[in-house]
Structure 1
Amino acid sequence: MKKNTKGAIALGAAALLLAGGAGTYAAWSDEATLGGGQVSSGHLRITETTAGTWTWADGSTFVPSTDRIVPGDVVEYTATYTLAVEGNNLVASLTPNLGGVGETGLGQYLTVAAESDTEGITLDNITEANDGDTVEVTTTITFDADTTSEASMNATATLDGSTITLQQTAPAGPAAP
């Protein structure tokens, strides 16, 4: 064999020996347990505590099954709810939903909104500070005054699936230590 070939074989063998030793390298490590305990989740609940009443915008009684609305009419459902809010960074909002109404028939001409005059409660910023609070919410349903379509005449909308939803929104940020 030539000198160069013998040198290349010797160099390759030396590299293999060195590489084989690389697998035996050890780094020190240690571990300790975390100061433990148990973590628990909070909750978010709303309960109707006083049955609601339907009224026309002027305060007189509205009976959904017999009264008939026309463009421009406003009807309101007012009820009292108890809030159960637990969670350090929990922020929620109360919103009405006309679930059974849909976007066809009369439903496409109705809009819904909610408001509360309960002191200390803002419907879009409910936090753990409101846990146990009672809030009176008025859900307003408005028949669009600009409605001219004949399709809106003799139409119906079912209000049975309507709800008021307490929904978590963006978190408030990390809790203070």
Structure 2
Amino acid sequence: MESWMPPLLASTLTWLALPSVGLPAVFLVAMVSATLLPMGSEPAVFALVQAQPELFWHAVLVAAVGNTVGGAISWWMGAGAHRTVEHWRHAHPRGHLPQGRGHGQALAWLARFGPKACLLSWLPVVGDPLCALAGWLRLPFWPCVAYMAVGKLARYIMMTGVLVWAF
């Protein structure tokens, strides 16, 4: 069984590295990885750039756009969750929604920094929930998206550049 795995993997990576397939795949992986789903997009970007070094800037830009679209989706998910909770509270005035420890401090910090906090949306673990919380707080959508884009573009330039240099 192992004898067919390396050629299959090699042909799959070659297929994904084609500009007609690779860039859309990078966009999709980057977009999905920026939602609350646990997934990383760096391996897809790095694989494409390793196979086609001339696509470095294309891959970085496509990944940043896809990741920003995913962050915007998370923002809308947060805004939708807030509307749902508010609707539930009005429908069940005696109902109680538990709040986690640090809930108030995290929201206060985010509200204080506003859309600029979305510059940190590139961070592992906290970046994706940060976008959703920005939506929850109804921070202005387009400024949040602009800050997300700057942070995510810087991340892909740095991470892909370091990976290409190291390998």
Task: Name the larger-Rg structure.
Answer: 1
- Flag the structure with higher strand content: 1
Whether TM-score is above 0.5 comes out as no
TM score, norm. by length of structure 1: 0.23
- Flag the structure with higher helix content: 2
